[in-house]
Structure 1
Amino acid sequence: MSQLIHIQPLEPNGGIPSPRPATQGCASSACGKMSDAKDLADDIWEKVKDHPCYSEEAHQYFARMHVAVAPACNIQCNYCNRKYDCANESRPGVVSERLTPEQALRKVIAVANEVSQLSVLGIAGPGDACYDWEKTKETFEQVAKVIPDVKFCLSTNGLALADCIDDIAKMNIDHVTLTINMVDPEIGAKIYPWIFFENKRWTGIEASRILHERQMLALELLKERGILTKVNSVMIPNINDTHLLEVNRVVKEKGAFLYNIMPLISDPAHGTHFGLTRQREPSHQELMALQNQLADGTKLMRHCRQCRADAIGLLGEDRGQAFSMDKIPETLEYNPANRASYREIVAQERGEHLEQKKSAEKKLAELEAKPTILAAVVSKQGGRINQHFGHAQEFQIYEVSPYGVKFISHRKIPLYCAEGNGDDQRLDSIITALEGIQAVLCARIGDCPREKLEKAGIEVNVDYAHDWIESGLSSWYAARFSKENRRIA
């Protein structure tokens, strides 16, 4: 059956104003907050402000969608095992359905009509978007005709990027993510068993040398064309963990806009080489320590969720199973009304949020020297402390001190309340995930988990339910030390 696609023209930016707040410059090494706007050129700010991966703030409001149209890959990574027809694993390279470009278009229209937060369409495999370029290109071309205001981005290992750089530039793809795990081929040989280049399979150090040279060329070509590049590196203990300091230095020199260190996922059940050989994953503390070593002005992405290649929704959630192809009509029309209305609401919310951040910073700056504290926030996104502890599947970790409130990372946790009941074993895992954290702020929590958390030395607070995160954390921090001062007096 042929599909009916109704094209409705949009005003530039959907008719929604894009305010440029006049604020101070970036106070941390994170990127893409409204407070960064003054430090960024107008064209760069417009590219990042609504992209949930390139903007720490935008990920609270805007959603991404990945379409799995590029299954072929030209390298083998020891941490990767691409799986199809898989709904149970949440990691890169995994999809439930492989799509044709025509199917992808139908799916994008269906999602855009239902998910008002959608701002970005990405192609992240499950193979390599540039190696499977014809399918990637056709998908973007078809979607651009129907939804011209959605941003495009792609993820690649960089080996084939130079071959399609002209198409990428012509198609107005503003964002490209390169996965670069080494700048030393000897280290690369421990990560990549082989690559396929110029109709030949290469192995060992020679394979890694070719990959490295092509990745550096890709960075240079993207910079020349003004395309923002985010570099992803997988942190692999005892293989490239300390080497990533050098990777960061090199990619910065080559013009990378944003750097993201992702922890290795090596569950043996996933069937990867590193999983089967029991290569350990880095701890939360090891990852945070490495990120802190890079906090010297480097723009770091700390809010990455290592998404599936068919992820849909806000970062930290995945609605992909709700949009399987069997649930999407053969004929449908794109209606931009919901997305346009949502952007109007977000523009207002961001203004209020910015004012609350300024107030929080002022409140903290008035405090005398106090220690830095790590606190976990339970949030359904939107920038607020607005979720029940038992419903959370991740913590957002913040550093709080008189210098301000700074987002550090997220930590995935098992769902405590399943079918209305708490699970003690899961609670033990949650407490383990809170290592190094001194407090949890949430909207609600039951007596049992509260008591167990407090017994483990973790403060629990629900006084700031539904407040902006920065406002709630700054008020909690100030109140905490006011109480201590009163006890001392």
Structure 2
Amino acid sequence: MELTVLGQEPVAKGGCSSSSCGSTDDQLGHLPENIREKVHNHPCYSEEAHHYYARMHVAVAPACNIQCHYCNRKYDCANESRPGVVSELLTPDQAIKKTLAVAATIPQMTVLGIAGPGDPLANPEKTFATFRALSEQAPDIKLCVSTNGLALPESVDELAKHNIDHVTITINCVDPEIGAKIYPWIFWKNRRIKGIKGAEILIEQQQKGLEMLTARGILVKVNSVMIPGVNDKHLAEVSKVVKAKGAFLHNVMPLIAEAEHGTFYGVMGQRGPEPSELKELQDQCEGDMNMMRHCRQCRADAVGLLGEDRGSEFSVDKIEEMEINYPEAMIMRAEVHAKIEAELAEKKAKQNKPQLIQLEGLGGKPRKTYRPVLMAVATQGGGLINQHFGHAKEFLRYEVTESGAKMVGHAKTDLYCSGDDTCGEAETTLQKTIRALDGCEVVLCSKIGYEPWSMLETAGIQPNGEHAMEAIEEALMAVYQEMIENGKLDDVAETVNRQAIA
């Protein structure tokens, strides 16, 4: 069967018309140009940017002014990958030197954020001392802060002074009764306030701070933790409220509930959401708000591309030995960023609006529409399928339809193959990896061994190593087309041909 895209040339088997591959810029396409300019190279705000640009967090904020049932802060932990965890706390001077060292070593780094391990605005002296120095010494780096919002209204003026035009607020509810189930207490005006009263104050401060930020033209992303049985049925309402007050992006994250992390929810057996539950909620919220689906719930000292952590390369003892010529590094960074932007511009020039794949005749004849397919991808960044299955610590999950490929989340895994003598002991880890890919019908990677190939097929997941070093969206659409050609997708509806879909 020959496949074509409406209004385009025929698509060769296994190939992909650029217009059918989806646009990774759709997440930002509705935004005004001045806002797109602010976020286009911010890996936490732009799905496209996260393939190319890096970020880092500095751990200068140990104290927190609220207690969350899903949080357990750790200050000297190198093993856990979750918010609230760092390997070492930093002074502002150490944080500044670390930032300059990372930016000089990893020129793709565009963003410096303070996200803990406590709350940055509960540590205002350390937080703003860091921001003040970096705005002077590294003016080419975007500055961001992530906060629970309790101290936000009193901090807005100071945030606006330091070139901070991106703020993330964690808002898990707008109903105090639900909030009391998430937050056992807040510390407010030198008093610990518990229960519904504490939740009321927190919610009021969050909403006031959100309105004040957007009135100043500061971009606001809202994070929400999905807690099954607690706030999962409520987060769609949260999305409506924060959008109405000016937030431009909503990140609904799964509860991290493993007991070994020592959180209240973990110890009490509160489960996290299944990937299908998370996606269903994100889809529900998307009607009211742009959804961020590429979040990795990073450590408070994360360094590198999203999904990787190079923090161990920049410990305090190592950065003290580094000699940094930042003016020279800025020139190199500008050259690297220019190359990335040229690559993205070339990519966009090849992309038009995503269009339906044509399977039957033109001229208004009936055509068949095929069901979406969930696919997983192993990637090291750059928007390419460029990682061995056995070396992947995570897989990106995409929903693929005739109109394009949309990232809908990611699956974290243990490293299946470390390349040493432990590979022979990897059966249990491999089984965990396959469970993490539950729901996916295809997994694309650069290479894969015989054993995992066989086990994936047994689990009903088709391995695919035929698209190594290809662009992710193009490869996904090529595989989807092949599935249609080979009769592997049941048609789910009859429609009338349209010229394109928006």
Q: TM-score, normalised by structure 1?
A: 0.90
**Post-superposition shift, 1:140?**
0.8
> Which one is further off, 473-482 or 66-75?
473-482
Report the Cα distance in structure 2 between the residues aligned to 1:353 and 1:304, rounded to whole angstroms. 23
SS of aligned partner of 2:135: helix
User: Is the Cα–Cα contact under 8 Å of residues 174 and 203 in structure 2 kept in the other structure?
Assistant: yes
TM-superposed deviation, 1:418: 2.4
Whether 1:107 and 2:98 are equivalent positions in the alignment is: yes
Q: Report the equivalent of 1:353.
A: 347
Read off the aligned partner of 2:210 and give its amino acid letter.
L
Residues 471, 358 of structure 1: CA spacing in aligned structure 2 closer, same or farther, 3 A cutoff? farther
Give distance in 2, aligned partners of 1:63 and 1:475. 28
Whole-angstrom CA distance in 1 between matches of 2:118 and 2:169: 13
- C-alpha distance in structure 2 between counterparts of 1:44 and 1:128, whole Å: 26
- Does the Cα contact within 8 Å between 1:180 and 1:215 map onto a contact in 2? yes
Number of the residue aligned with 2:8: none
The share of aligned pairs that are identical, in percent, is 53
2:293 corresponds, among 278, 298, 302, to 302
The CA distance in 1 between the partners of 2:468 and 2:356, in whole Å, is: 19
**Residue identity matched to 1:196:** F
Task: Structure 1: state its 5+ residue gaps.
Answer: 1-22
CA distances 1:204-257 after superposition (whole Å, capped 9, x unpaired) = 111001111111101110111011111111111111111111111111111111
Contact 2:355 2:403 in 1 (8 A): no
Pairwise CA RMSD of aligned residues? 2.1
Matched, 1:86 2:77: yes
Structure-2 change in CA distance of 1:281 and 1:38 (3 Å): closer
**Counterpart residue type for residue 325 of structure 2:** E
Q: What residue is the counterpart of 2:458 in the other structure?
A: 455
Q: Deviations over 1:14-56 (max 9, x none)?
A: xxxxxxxxx99xx89xxxx434565322210111101001101
Q: How does 1:190-339 map to 2 (within 5 A)?
A: 190-329=181-320, 331-334=323-326, 335-339=329-333
Number of residue pairs the alignment of both structures matches: 458
Any gaps of 5 or more consecutive residues in structure 2?
A: 1-17, 361-367, 490-502
Residue 116 of structure 1 contacts residue 338 of structure 1 at CA under 8 Å; is this kept in 2? yes
1:453 and 1:36, CA in 2 relative to 1: closer, same or farther beyond 3 A? closer
Partner in structure 2 of residue 378 of structure 1? 378
Structure 1 position 355, deviation (Å): 4.3
Alignment-mate amino acid for residue 260 of structure 2: A
1:450 aligned partner, one-letter code: W
Matches within 5 A, 1:140-159: 140-159=131-150
Letter in 2 for 1:77: C
| Residue 170 (structure 1) aligns with | 161
2:500 maps to: none
Contact 1:356 1:470 in 2 (8 A): no
Aligned to 1:429, which of 419, 432, 439?
432
Distance 2:29 2:69 in 1: 42
User: Per-residue displacement from partner, 1:163-191 (whole Å, max 9, x unpaired)?
Assistant: 11111112121100000111111111111
Q: Are the equivalent residues in 1 in contact too, given 2:243–2:288 (CA < 8 A)?
A: no
**Cα distance in 1 between the residues matched to 2:435 and 2:280:** 18
TM-aligned CA distance change 1:365 to 1:116, over 3 Å? farther
Once the two structures are TM-superposed, the CA of residue 289 in structure 1 deviates from its matched residue by 1.2
Contact 1:390 1:445 in 2 (8 A): yes
Q: Deviations over 1:431-456 (max 9, x none)?
A: 11111111111111011111111121
Separation in structure 1 between the aligned mates of residue 133 and residue 332 of structure 2, nearest angstrom: 21
Counterpart for residue 6 of structure 1: none
Whether the 8 Å contact between 1:303 and 1:410 is mirrored in structure 2 is yes
1:482 corresponds, among 482, 485, 489, to 485
1:45 aligns with 2:36: yes
Q: 2:178 aligns with which of 166, 179, 187?
A: 187
Determine the structure 2 residue equivalent to 1:364.
357
Q: Which residue of structure 2 lines up, in the alignment, with residue 411 of structure 1?
A: 411
Distance verdict in 2 for CA 1:233–1:485, change over 3 Å: closer
